[in-house]
Chain A
Amino acid sequence: MTLEADPVEELVALGIAADLSGAARRRLATIARIEELPAGKVVLREGQPTLELGVVLDGRVALQTHLPGRADLTLMTLDRGDIFGWSAALGDPSTSSVVAQVPTRAVLLERDGLLDALAADTEFAAVIYRRLFQAVTSRLVATRLQLLDLYASAEGRA
């Protein structure tokens, strides 16, 4: 396997695991794996247990919500470096469905191992929670901009 095939190295490269000590990285390695997600693969389903927390390496996944009687609505798409499934870190059910929009490579951290690690290793927890918090913040900003209707304009000039 090449280096980039190592999930921890990938996460370090993305900055997500860069601040982790060696011990914490080893702990991470025990719960992280890289997976190839074929287009259309449903990684997480809205309302179901969030069994994995994921980070996109290549490709693209869509966050979708189900509208009864209508096609699922894509709320947002995620690219390299974006985190999904963070409910896993809380043990909560998934707040949206996550679907691979194109063939996608992602690092997946399985939930139970993640919860154990967060509970057992405060240094690990501090770094991971900080990353998750950053992800939540930028997602909130993006959502706010969508609410504001980013492209609404009163301009007379075209």
Chain B
Amino acid sequence: MTTRPEPPVAHDDPPRFLPRAELDRLFGALRATGRTVIGPTIREQAVTYDQIDGTDDLPIGWTADTAPGTYRLTRNDGVRAFDYGIGPTAWKRYTHPPRIPLTVSAPSPVGPTVAPVTPDAPPLAFVGVRACELAALRIQERVMRAGPAGDVDHAARRDAALVVAVECAVAGSTCFCTSMGTGPEVGEGADIVLSELDEGFVVRAESGPGQVVVDALRVDAASDDQTGRATAQVAELRETMGDPVPTAGLPERLRAAIDHPHWAEIAERCLACTNCTLVCPTCFCTSVGVASDLDGQAATTDRTWDSCFSLGFGRVAGDANFRPRVADRYRQWLTHKFSTWWDQFGSSGCVGCGRCIAWCPVGIDVRAELLAVAPPHAPAGPIPWPVAPPDGHAPAPLATVEPARYVETEVTDVRRETNDTVTLRLATDDAALLAAQPGQFVMVAQPAQSAPPISISRILPDALELTIRHVGPATASLTAARPGGRFALRGPMGRPWPIDEARGRDVVIVAGGIGLAPLRPVLDAVLRDRPRFGAVRIFHGARTPADRLFVPELAALAGRVDVEFAEIVDRAGPDWFGRVGVVTQLFEHATWAGAGATAFICGPDRMMQATVRGLAAHGLSADRTWVTLERNMACGVGLCGHCQLGPYFVCRDGPVFSVAELGDAFTTEGL
């Protein structure tokens, strides 16, 4: 399936008028299109969006008083159905549900198979979508279709939904759509727009499917007076709301405030409870859970809402964590919403609905925190990474949406590299897999295990090699694989090393420890085409001689006259006659000039940072110094949010980056 087809245009006829007494006609007309109607109704002392049957279910005569940390349903004894303040439910519940099945694994004669679950998207009609919520639907649709592979589940659900928007006549004290440019006037994306007057509704069809429903109402055109009052009432609302959040330059101001002491102050109050992110209509982050039978054969994975406020969200294998402190997590959320969202998707991530303010259990008001951490006319400090919204680096293109593909491969060779690392050769005839580029990775699915991202360590005509270190349960069973074993691969994913960019130039390759694995395809490519490159210098460091990977290949490299190869180990016993020390020593006193050379670096963060400093001293330019980063890459296509690093999704925009692209994001703690 490709991006949503443009619906046929509505006829160009004047708005109709639906008398209040006839409102049920709308529900009838919607159901006549085979849709279940979701709309506002009162449950558990709040207005929530649930399945409704008709007018009687609407919160007529009710409104809500909202303030930081409080929401109180109150009678206003009016006749209107849509004068309630926005409640806790966001429409994403129906377009991006809190929990969906992802894959099913079943035993089979040739071993367990992994198959994606095709989405079940019931046709729905959303009644009572506000301007800010419509903007949120647009923003989330952009998010869920961005990147190399959009989300098939979201696409199916969004396409199956018909949106009946309602223009606001009242605003809550927590509303600030006027500042975020999302309301109160209803923008694009609705199929039908209602404006509520005391005597009824001015109805505009804005799409073909919407027109079908409006025609079915069989009501007259609205009078000029009615359309006039509808326009006036929303204009008046805009006046009363004003512009509570000065957004001019906000993305840059937030960037410059990355080390602001106020983050720590907020962390004193913030409970990191995740409420703000889960009520937010645009927050999209998810995690994948695994369930299985007692034998680990029949298994399922499902995808649930997650939040950058939960510790687990920043956790990677080995239990390291990118955002250990609550201050890190709040900073991530706020800067993502109002700043890096621009870099990623070309818009703000906030629509000003105010849910995060009202439903924060300790009343933290994002408007106040923004003013405290990034006040208007704040001295624009240094930008920590070189992209400047809103016209910053182009947001990822909209993806062709197709379900995740899992390709069954068979282990044809297992080579033990070290006591905890093996190289698996996985045979496949899948063209997409075999077209993998150096630096790309695959997700390796096994029943009853999470699917870790694994770099490709060699690309062969009929197979891929993966070099895997045992760091956790999932890699444990991978490193225990035997020839004949089967694994389902998803990929290839990620941005490859820019090898072509290095043609005609000197090449410096620096590998640390397991980091040699993602660089091995670079070596293959460069050596295969040796004459097309200048001087090739390869520096390899390992913890001990016993930790060296691909030992025969290292020996062969050492024997070549057309490359400079040196290696060094951190610690060695008496039986090691090579260099001892750190990898940077290998070129510390070297006399070659690095200017114009291209560097490819992979290893643990500390090693890469030391190497980048060392190479810079040799004159290598930041935009030709390439590293590959480690993050908690879960979905592999920029949809789950786990691997964010400042403006980037490591899985989608990387994992290969130039040091120039990363800027301070390469060294800022807790980002």
Taking beta carbons and an 8 Å cutoff, which residues of A are in contact with B? 14, 60, 62, 71-72, 74-77, 79-82, 101, 138, 141-142, 145-146, 148-158
Q: Which residues of A contact B468 (CB under 8 A)?
A: 158
A62 to B466, CA, bound (A): 36
CB distance from A64 to the nearest CB of B (A): 10
Cβ of B589 within 8 Å of any chain A Cβ, yes or no, is yes
Pair B454/A74 contact, Cβ less than 8 Å: no
CB-CB nearest in chain B for A155: B630
Bound state CA distance, A141 and B574, in angstroms? Answer: 24
Given A142-B584, A146-B570, A146-B581, residue A157 in contact with residue B607 (CB < 8 A): no
* A142-B581, A145-B606 known; A155-B570 Cβ under 8 A: no
Out of B441, B542, B578, name the residue touching A151 (CB < 8 Å): B542
- Contact present for A76 and B580 (CB under 8 Å): yes
Q: Mark B508-540, 1 if CB is under 8 A from A, else 0.
A: 000011100100000000000000000000000
Q: Contact partner of B584 among A14, A71, A145, CB < 8 A?
A: A145
Give Cα A139–Cα B377 distance, bound, in whole angstroms.
46
* Contact A149 B570, CB 8 Å, known A155-B514, A157-B452, A157-B633: yes
Interface residues of B (CB under 8 A from A): 316-320, 421, 441, 452-455, 457, 466-469, 471-472, 474-475, 512-514, 517, 541-543, 547, 568, 570-574, 576-585, 588-589, 603-607, 610, 630, 632-633
- Residue of A79, A148, A150, A157 near B455 (CB, 8 A) is A157
User: What would 18 A/B residue contacts be, using CB atoms closer than 8 Å?
Assistant: A72-B574, A76-B580, A76-B585, A77-B581, A80-B589, A142-B582, A148-B606, A149-B570, A150-B512, A150-B583, A151-B513, A151-B607, A153-B630, A154-B319, A155-B317, A155-B318, A156-B474, A158-B517
B25 to chain A, nearest CB (A): 57
CA distance A145 to B610 in the complex (A): 8
Minimum C-beta distance from A45 to chain B (A) = 18
B486: min CB distance to chain A, Å: 19
How distant is B317 from chain A, measured CB to nearest CB, in Å? Answer: 3
Closest to B455 in A: A157
Q: Are the CB atoms of A157 and B630 closer together than 8 Å? A: yes
Task: Name the contact of A146 in the complex, choosing from B455, B513, B582 (C-beta under 8 A).
Answer: B582
| Given A138-B588, A150-B570, A151-B541, A158 contacting B469 (CB threshold 8 A) | yes
Give CA–CA (A138, B588) in the complex, Å. 9
Contact B452 A153 (CB under 8 A): no
Contacts of B543 in A (CB 8 A): 149-152
| Chain B residues near A150 (CB-CB < 8 A) | 512, 541, 543, 570, 582-583, 603-604, 606-607, 610
Q: Closest B-chain residue to A142, C-beta based?
A: B582
Least Cβ distance of A60 to chain B in Å?
A: 7
Task: State in angstroms the CA–CA spacing of A153 and B633 once bound together.
Answer: 16
Q: Find the B residue at minimum CB distance from A138.
A: B588
Closest to B470 in A: A158
Which single residue of chain A is at the shortest CB-CB distance from B422?
Answer: A158
Contact among A79, A152, A156 for B579, CB-based, below 8 A: A79
Q: Are B580 and A75 in contact (CB under 8 A)?
A: yes
**Contact assessment for B453 and A60 in the assembled complex, using a CB-CB cutoff below 8 Å:** no
CB–CB A156/B574 < 8 A: no
A149 to B544, CA, bound (A): 11
Across the interface, name the chain B residue whose C-beta is closest to A82. Answer: B589
In the bound complex, residues from chain B placing their C-beta under 8 Å from that of A76 are 580-581, 585
**Which 4 pairs from chain A and chain B are nearest by CB?**
A156-B317, A154-B320, A81-B589, A154-B318
Whether B579 contacts A157 by the Cβ 8 Å rule is no
Residues of A within 8 A of B471 (CB): 154-156, 158
A143 to B: closest C-beta gap in Å: 9
Contact B610 A74 (CB under 8 A): no
